[in-house]
Amino acid sequence: MPKEARILVIRFSAMGDVAMCLPVLKAFQNKYPNQRLSILTKEAFIPLFKDLSNVEFIGLKKGEGIFSLLQRILKLEPFDLVMDLHSSLRSAFVCSALALKGAKTHKIDKRRAAKKKFLKTANTSLKPITSQAQAYLDVFEYFGFKLSMNDLKPIKSSKKNSNQMRIGVAPFAAHSSKTYPEDLMKILIDKICDFNSDIEILLFGAPGDQQERLKAWCKKSKQLKTNAGMNLEKELALMTQLDLMISMDSANGHMAANFGVPVITLWGSTHPYAGYQPLFQPFNNSFLPDYQRYPELPSSIFGEHEIRGYEDAMRSINQESLHSRIKEILNL
């Protein structure tokens, strides 16, 4: 077993990738409780780690430059090990500065070659590549910390404080190519409301435009409520009360999965085999477009590459199968 060390773990963004760190860090703490853990992330994401104990947080402030950040870090007690789970220019600067102070550093393998090959593979022959969570574990393995995917568990099981059936719906994503059409999402929500008039649907979204759009949706049914614009800590608390989360390939799915909530994900230009399926979910919770009609999918790892003529790809997701799976999870 590695000797006791002061360890810095770096992951600045994106929110979904930061969320996927949590089960890894929890497993690490459970197996190696004497290690001294510090986490460097965006200040806004620190609430994601509230279920970890005895952790030092270093929050990157909004608009803060790298030199200001380094000045703050270098004033702290020296680190023995630095685990770069981001591998960005910013994290490389931090690693280089701390290496000069004697720290041993190692960065995540971004699996660029595997991802490139994945996107060139016919969609009828796709196989999972190394997941993001496994890539995190590999960094710990480099330093001699033995952890496997079997060690990962939900941060805490969802414990509801009422018998109210609640379904979370996160209808937005960073790119239109992985966002379910709004009209179909409204139809899906209506269908769920018809399953049981006592179901409460909580709509998740960001402040601003998403918040206003979701408020308009809520006017059409008393079963709908929106949490858009709520701070992250309160949003996470609400997720523990869900019976199901329906999400795009986005952060909300990862956050809900961390609490042991069943998560159904709707996929467009991306694919769960590329390493970013929410943890602890069976593959039949992932709903994909009709790949015979859209043979060039998946077209990207993160959704930034859109194919002309494929704007309606997510409309081909089998709605009957989706409805059936929702009812199965909810025992309706």
Do 175 and 143 fall within a single domain? no
39 within 8 A of 56, measured Cβ to Cβ: yes
Claim to verify: residue 114 and residue 263 sit in the same structural domain? no
Last residue in a domain, options 118, 151, 184 = 151
Residue 324 lies in a domain: yes
On whether residue 1 sits in a domain, the answer given is no
177 and 323 fall within a common domain: yes
Q: Are 274 and 298 in contact (CB under 8 A)?
A: yes
Residue 156 counted as domain residue: no
Q: Is residue 63 part of a domain?
A: yes
Residues 191 and 307 in one domain: yes
CA distance 321 to 284: 10
- Tell me which of 124, 151, 178 is where a domain ends: 151
Residue type, 263: V
Decide if 62 is inside a domain. Answer: yes
CA torsion angle 186 192 195 201 (round to 10): -110
- CB-based contact 46:58 (threshold 8 Å): no
- Residue 179, SS3 per DSSP: coil
| Residue 41 backbone phi and psi in degrees, to 5 | -150, 175
One domain for residues 271 and 198: yes
Q: If you write DSSP's letter for every residue of 67-78 in order, what string do you get?
A: HHHHHHHHTSPP
Q: Residue 209 has which token pair?
A: 């435009």
Write the CA distances from 152 to 54, 149, 254, 263, 308, integer angstroms.
Answer: 19, 5, 14, 17, 39
Residue type, 251: A
**Whether residue 170 sits in one domain with residue 134:** no
Low-confidence ranges of the chain (pLDDT < 70): 1, 157-160
Q: Is the domain of 99 the same as that of 215?
A: no
Residue 159 lies in a domain: no
Nearest residue to 257 (alpha-carbon basis) of 286, 234, 229: 286
What CATH number has the domain bearing residue 45? 3.40.50.2000
* Residue 293 structural domain: 166-330
36 within domain boundaries: yes
Residue 160 within a domain: no
Tens digits of residue pLDDT in 169-213: 999 999 999 999 999 999 999 999 999 999 999 999 999 999 999
Name the domain boundary from 151, 174, 205. Answer: 151
Residues 170 and 135 in one domain: no
CB neighbours of residue 32 within 10 Å: 18
Beta-carbon contacts of residue 122 (< 8 Å; ≥ 6 apart): 295
Q: Show the beta-strand stretches assigned E in 21-176.
A: 36-42, 55-60, 81-84, 104-107, 166-170
Q: Contact at 8 Å (CB) between 151 and 27?
A: yes
Distance CA 332, CA 312 (A): 30
* pTM recorded for the entire structure: 0.96
Residue 292's pLDDT is what?
Answer: 97
Per the structure, how many domains does the chain have? 2
Burial class of 196 by CB neighbour count within 10 A (0 to 12, 13 to 18, 19+): middle
Report pLDDT for 1: 59
